[in-house]
Structure 1
Amino acid sequence: MPSKQQLLVTRRLLLTGSLAATTLALASCTSKTGEGVASASASASEPAIPRTLRLAASAPPVSLDPALANDNESFRITRQVYETLISIDANTGSPIAGLAEAWTQSEDGLRYTFTLRRGVRFHDGSEFNAAAVVANFNRWVKLPKDLQLRSSQGFMHVFHHEKDIPKLPTEAELKLKLDKDTTATEEQQAAETQRLAELEKLKAIYAQDLFTGKSLGGSASYFAGVEATEPYVLTLKLRRPRAGLIEALTLPGMAIAAPDSLTGGPKSNPSEALLTAPSGTGPYKFVSNDQGTVNLELFADYWDKTKLSNNPNHPEAVVVSPIPSPYNRESALMAEEIDGFDMVSVDIMRTLVRNAKVVVQRDPFSVLYLGLDHRNEWLAKPEFRMAITHAVNRGRLADNLFLQGSKSAQSILPPAFGVPEPEGTLNHSSEKAKQLLADIEYKGEIIEFAYPLRVSRNYLPLPERTFAQLAEDLAAVGIRIKPRPIAWTDGYVDTVRSTEFNGMHLLGFSGGYRLEDDFISGILDAKEHEFGYTSKLLDSQVLVARSLPPGEERTAAMTAILATLNTDLPLVPLVFPISALAFNPNVTYYPSSPMLNESYLDVQMTNSPALSS
């Protein structure tokens, strides 16, 4: 077991430092004390300690502006402060009323009308209405390109606003390119036949008008405009039907911010105020962010009074502190310095259960993958990428380093989507890997392999050990690697998506809504930067599939996309992980969600003994 690092957030800091300041401030503005808030012997002159949920996260939030965030530690906070037009049913994952209490869709799928809630206020006291929503859309449309790249679950991800219609490949581009005295294998011939058949299908669709009306962005933008037709009625117009739009509007990057926060900053980011003073309509108000430790307090004017009254044991204050090491998070829980933590790793699960801690699991809705950068001399060779795929023992990885129930991944789409694996998926075989390497005369040239440090992700709870096991698999077939550890907070994601890096890397994706395009676009929209990979065929397939309603035709289109990825191998899917949280007994209920849409207002708890005593 790795040695335990010094705790970043100490008991004294939590109980007498930033938390104490927060609780004193909250005492004067919290209307409900609830059970366990103050002892019976407390002096009347002493302020009551609000019921406080203290959580440990694996990293500090990167951005408190949800439109500019791309990490779940940021969304963990912004989901409490902000709300979206559409919410998610905690039991089924289906879309339900959020800030919009009802909506309708036109027959052609190009117009959506939303009826908005009345009586909702932002944390700055301003009124929520249709004009406020329009102001947010206008801000998203005008985001500078460097800011667009920061978001993975927002407007650009939903509407693909800056994208252009991809060109179809030619038949010549899809045919096999073999060396002079090389004969195509049966598998290669079958793949070529499949690609050419896909091209014919796409040609028929491309012969039609794919998009209607003028675009405010790229030629493949789905967004046609938004209008406040009445004070509490909003009309959203599309240029092409977009399957799953309502589900996509639940993404945390589509959160509605107070209009006054969207202006006043520099030209490079007029909404800069949201980075340090987020303002939404959510159940919790932002108080402070002290070196990554975020303090929240209950919003006294929150609109959903029914939800508040139905759960009288909700937290009145929240403190989320970054503790990168899973072993330090465990220690903090045992010492009652925190009430719970996320990213439970497999090697501490037994200790938690033995000590009667509450463990709450999430269903798998994320994927871990190994990125293969095509700009690298050796990774550019299809045979080398195939050898890596054969070398990796995905089943052993899932069994050894992930929670029980995690499954090895043969594609980037979790089993919940019901999309079958394409034929010809490469399985673990050291012998085949060695033969492929011999065929291309690989003689042990070194490939750089990046992995993150000082972080746990729900798709990667143990980065260092995951890297070590994969390095062992590669070494077993003769592939030599050079480790490149990079701290998550030192820009790990930016590094592996830059032109300065062109080796292998570990990364993953967590789904935000139940439609395949979330994973397809979330992983592949940055494929040129992350994998050095471009494909006219894949881009065309994705564009067409995005407008297909759920059913057999859509499933077949997704299977064809997976087949293209299997052939081109920009990445190797590794594991569909189960993630989990652990709590002390004072937390009696936590609303776990595969999409990580977890509102702390639904948490049921008594106050921590460390705070109550």
Structure 2
Amino acid sequence: MRKVKQIVALALTAALVITASAGCGSSATSSTGSSGSSASNPNDTLVYAQGAEPRGLDPALVDDGESAKVMSNIYEGLLKYDKDSTKVEPSLAKSWDVTTDGLTYTFHLQEGVKFQDGTDFDADAVKFNIDRQLPPKVTADMGYASFVFGSVKDVQVVDKNTVKINLKAPSTPFLNNLAMVMAAPMVSPKALQANNNNVDQAPVGTGPYKFVKWDKDQDIVLVRNDQYWGTKALTKNVIFKFIKDNSARVVALNNGEADIIDGIDATVVKQITDAGNKIFQAPGMNVNYMAYNTSRKPFNDAKLRTAISQAINVPEMVKSLYQGYSEPATSILPTFMAGYDKSVSQVAYDPTAAAAALKAAGLTSVHMITYTNPRPYNPATGQALAEAIQGYLSKVGVTVKLDSFDWTTYKDKVKAGDYDIAFYGWTGDNGDPDNFMNLLADKDPTMNIALYNNPQFNDLIAKGLVTPAGDARNAIYTQLEKIAAADAVWLPISHAQTLCAYRPNVQDFYYHMTGITPFVGVAKK
């Protein structure tokens, strides 16, 4: 990693970048700032330092929060969320109608909108984006396609500014899904055709910022889209800087070399505020968990999953690791979400019972994998969490072989499935309980890392999708929670508060509960 002092040099020259021949080899858009001379003004550039690099910038091909933060500034969907909730609002669709049977959604599109490559956003573009994620075009690496568009039968172009989406069956969360930053955003069809259906390195949307360049392991540079159809961004340049080390990010903030940082934990809050910087703090819509690989021995046996979970004192561990900025998870669902029921309980701490069961089964060692960086749901890092659990298991006679990886490599290791225990978490995409519980029914191994396959559970997931919002639907998700807890598929650990820090001259920054960081209204004094 280059020294963080280089951030300043990059910030002062970002607006002058014309092509992205450096970095990933992708072609970048032209700088669209009003004047190259403004690059000398540091208030024209926001530097956001995060702990890990995005996996990519094609919304159909990624599923991680680091990618989402960047993409939320480049792309837009038909709908968007309210600033303070997951209530859906118009975006590229200015209005919509739904038939009484819930099977046809007609969207009336904004007129005159252009993609950042100058091509038209219209009904054909909507159809193109959805069709690429439906059979027969959908590909195995489109992890969110079935989640967002699995209920879609087909898409019909009515006219240039009107499109119909027909469903195979009603889907209660469908509108919420269309506001998500994964799968749902609109990508330029021209860019997709020019890049072999993959714009991970050459993103083109309709949003307030345009992609300039990506220097691997260093940063991503965005520049204001001055042809944006909506309210123009206040700040000309945004740089997403990758600083893996937590303490190095804090130093960068306190020295003024970064304007905003994430991935902080309780241990650095005082250091940040003592330097005159501010903390952004809000309830988190997330869960941090440990998952068992239920597809193979030894953890295809629920009794052994239960025994390992009994060995871990979750409340004690959460207090030690997160010091009041996360609460112990008694449920997969956040406590404020529909379907949450306080009567749901996870495996209780009982080291004596754990030791006896593990000894009787002859289980003396497990293979555990984890990630080394902070995550929004786990600011203490996966390494710290895994080592804490390693300590608990040693007390009941179980030795842990622990392998740790950077986030990008870790995602590949999870997909390969060579582990007994792995760590993950989830930040809710849309405020719907299906978004959490469906993880245990998903066929994608990077989503359902427990590789859990329970027909009863899967049938209830399908029932929840078509059941209208209300008490009957909430009861379905409560029942799903109870099944997952009884099977000890995961050990839910904590629900984290959202914690970020920013310089006092940064105005109107917020971190949305879905884990995105829109910068269109953010400015520096």
The question of whether the paired residues in 2 share the 8 Å contact of 1:591 and 1:602 is answered with: no
The question of whether the paired residues in 1 share the 8 Å contact of 2:286 and 2:425 is answered with: yes
- Confirm or deny that 1:98 pairs with 2:91: yes
Q: Mean Cα displacement is larger for which, 459-468 or 229-238?
A: 459-468
Give per-residue Cα distances to partners, 1:411-436, cap 9 Å, x unaligned.
21111214214556322222332343
Offset at 1:9? Answer: 4.0
Match of 1:23 in 2: 15
| CA spacing shift, 1:118–1:91, aligned 2, 3 Å | same
The question of whether the paired residues in 1 share the 8 Å contact of 2:377 and 2:496 is answered with: yes
Task: Pick from 255, 271, 276 the counterpart of residue 197 of structure 2.
Answer: 271
Give per-residue Cα distances to partners, 1:460-486, cap 9 Å, x unaligned.
222222112111222222222111112
| CA spacing shift, 1:423–1:358, aligned 2, 3 Å | closer
| CA spacing shift, 1:549–1:316, aligned 2, 3 Å | same
- For 2:281 and 2:239, the matched residues in 1 are separated by 22
Higher share in helix: 1
The root-mean-square deviation of aligned C-alpha atoms, in Å, is: 2.3
The question of whether the paired residues in 1 share the 8 Å contact of 2:50 and 2:261 is answered with: yes
Match of 1:157 in 2: 147
- Confirm or deny that 1:574 pairs with 2:493: yes
Letter in 1 for 2:424: L
The question of whether the paired residues in 2 share the 8 Å contact of 1:344 and 1:579 is answered with: no
- Name the SS of the counterpart of 1:367 in structure 2: strand
- For 1:585 and 1:465, the matched residues in 2 are separated by 30
- Confirm or deny that 1:146 pairs with 2:110: no
| CA spacing shift, 1:229–1:144, aligned 2, 3 Å | closer
- For 2:228 and 2:345, the matched residues in 1 are separated by 53
Give per-residue Cα distances to partners, 1:61-84, cap 9 Å, x unaligned.
111111101111111111111001
| CA spacing shift, 1:422–1:325, aligned 2, 3 Å | same
| CA spacing shift, 1:227–1:367, aligned 2, 3 Å | same
- Name the SS of the counterpart of 2:430 in structure 1: coil
- For 2:102 and 2:432, the matched residues in 1 are separated by 17
The question of whether the paired residues in 1 share the 8 Å contact of 2:206 and 2:228 is answered with: yes
| CA spacing shift, 1:134–1:542, aligned 2, 3 Å | same
- Name the SS of the counterpart of 1:351 in structure 2: helix
Match of 1:342 in 2: 262
| CA spacing shift, 1:396–1:98, aligned 2, 3 Å | same
Match of 1:498 in 2: 416
The question of whether the paired residues in 2 share the 8 Å contact of 1:403 and 1:578 is answered with: no
Match of 1:58 in 2: 51
Match of 1:507 in 2: 424
Letter in 2 for 1:51: D
Letter in 2 for 1:517: D
Give per-residue Cα distances to partners, 1:192-213, cap 9 Å, x unaligned.
xxxxxxxxxxxxxxxxxxxxxx
Give per-residue Cα distances to partners, 1:330-359, cap 9 Å, x unaligned.
111122111111111121112112222111
- For 1:571 and 1:22, the matched residues in 2 are separated by 44
The question of whether the paired residues in 1 share the 8 Å contact of 2:59 and 2:71 is answered with: yes
Task: Pick from 368, 375, 386 the counterpart of residue 457 of structure 1.
Answer: 375
Offset at 1:143? Answer: 4.2
Letter in 1 for 2:156: E
Match of 1:354 in 2: 274
- For 1:519 and 1:468, the matched residues in 2 are separated by 26
- Name the SS of the counterpart of 1:146 in structure 2: coil
- For 1:348 and 1:472, the matched residues in 2 are separated by 24
- Name the SS of the counterpart of 2:316 in structure 1: helix
- Name the SS of the counterpart of 2:336 in structure 1: helix
- Name the SS of the counterpart of 1:68 in structure 2: coil
1:334-413 aligned at under 5 Å gives the runs 334-402=254-322, 404-413=324-333
- For 1:471 and 1:295, the matched residues in 2 are separated by 39
- For 1:597 and 1:322, the matched residues in 2 are separated by 16
- Name the SS of the counterpart of 2:67 in structure 1: helix
- Confirm or deny that 1:127 pairs with 2:120: yes
Letter in 2 for 1:108: D
| CA spacing shift, 1:319–1:9, aligned 2, 3 Å | farther
- For 1:127 and 1:517, the matched residues in 2 are separated by 34
The question of whether the paired residues in 2 share the 8 Å contact of 1:24 and 1:47 is answered with: no
Give per-residue Cα distances to partners, 1:505-543, cap 9 Å, x unaligned.
111111111101111224541476732432111111111
Match of 1:42 in 2: none
1:266-345 aligned at under 5 Å gives the runs 270-272=196-198, 274-292=199-217, 293-304=219-230, 307-308=231-232, 314-345=234-265
Give per-residue Cα distances to partners, 1:383-418, cap 9 Å, x unaligned.
211112222211122222226342111221111214
Offset at 1:51? Answer: 0.9
| CA spacing shift, 1:28–1:532, aligned 2, 3 Å | closer
- Name the SS of the counterpart of 1:457 in structure 2: coil
Q: TM-score, normalised by structure 1?
A: 0.78
Q: TM-score, normalised by structure 2?
A: 0.91
- For 1:61 and 1:68, the matched residues in 2 are separated by 12
Give per-residue Cα distances to partners, 1:12-60, cap 9 Å, x unaligned.
43233x4343233489842389xxx96xxxxxxx966661000111111
| CA spacing shift, 1:19–1:437, aligned 2, 3 Å | same
- Confirm or deny that 1:434 pairs with 2:364: no
Task: Pick from 400, 403, 406 the counterpart of residue 481 of structure 1.
Answer: 400
- For 2:352 and 2:42, the matched residues in 1 are separated by 64
Largest Rg, 1 or 2:
1
The question of whether the paired residues in 1 share the 8 Å contact of 2:138 and 2:145 is answered with: no
Task: Pick from 152, 160, 163 the counterpart of residue 234 of structure 1.
Answer: 163
| CA spacing shift, 1:262–1:527, aligned 2, 3 Å | closer
Match of 2:467 in 1: 548
Task: Pick from 180, 185, 192 the counterpart of residue 251 of structure 1.
Answer: 180
The question of whether the paired residues in 2 share the 8 Å contact of 1:68 and 1:147 is answered with: yes
Match of 1:415 in 2: 335
- For 1:527 and 1:66, the matched residues in 2 are separated by 16
- For 1:349 and 1:10, the matched residues in 2 are separated by 23
Match of 1:195 in 2: none
- Confirm or deny that 1:225 pairs with 2:157: no
The question of whether the paired residues in 1 share the 8 Å contact of 2:78 and 2:178 is answered with: yes
| CA spacing shift, 1:81–1:233, aligned 2, 3 Å | same
Match of 1:209 in 2: none
The question of whether the paired residues in 2 share the 8 Å contact of 1:87 and 1:95 is answered with: yes
Off by >6 Å, runs of 4+ in structure 1: none
Letter in 1 for 2:378: L
Give per-residue Cα distances to partners, 1:425-470, cap 9 Å, x unaligned.
32222233234335xx1345211111112x2111122222211211
Letter in 2 for 1:509: W
Task: Pick from 321, 338, 346 the counterpart of residue 425 of structure 1.
Answer: 346
The question of whether the paired residues in 2 share the 8 Å contact of 1:393 and 1:428 is answered with: yes
Offset at 1:284? Answer: 0.2
- Name the SS of the counterpart of 1:321 in structure 2: strand
Match of 1:196 in 2: none
Match of 2:65 in 1: 72
Give per-residue Cα distances to partners, 1:287-332, cap 9 Å, x unaligned.
000114100000011111xx33xx8xx2210111111111110111
| CA spacing shift, 1:21–1:355, aligned 2, 3 Å | closer
- Name the SS of the counterpart of 1:389 in structure 2: helix
The question of whether the paired residues in 1 share the 8 Å contact of 2:266 and 2:322 is answered with: yes
